[in-house]
Structure 1
């Protein structure tokens, strides 16, 4: 999955347009008929104009906090069993 978002931020110094590039992947492997393992990854990069606001930091939904810079990477792995 890939998404591109272009934002518009109006300030006294003029218009800024930060851009957000997000890439996500997921893989699933069946261990048995009712059990599987999975891994997920999500990366976001904020490019474009700097706004001097929270819009400059990367944030992936589901992350505990906003990134302290313009990049954020989340990884998740799990085992799932159906009863």
Structure 2
């Protein structure tokens, strides 16, 4: 998947238009009829926030523990699912 987001931030300190690009990939493998394992990877890059909105210059993938300390963030997940 690919997601491109443009935001608009207007304040008395100034205006900015941060941009976020996110790319994700997921693979799923069936171990049996009711059990499967999956691997998921997500990458996000933030840009264009300017100095006015410093928090908007950092990447934050939903579901991550915390926002990145830079403009890039990578998240990987491995899971097993069993349906009843």
TM-score relative to the length of structure 1: 0.87
* Alignment check: 8 A CA contact 2:49 2:56 kept: no
Structure 1: which 5+ runs fail to align?
A: none
Give the equivalent residue in structure 2 for 1:59: 60
Matched ranges for 1:1-83 at <5 A = 1-12=1-12, 14-50=14-50, 51-83=52-84
TM-score relative to the length of structure 2: 0.86
Structure 2: which 5+ runs fail to align?
A: none
Q: CA RMSD in A?
A: 1.5
> Partners of 2:48 and 2:57 in 1: how far apart?
9
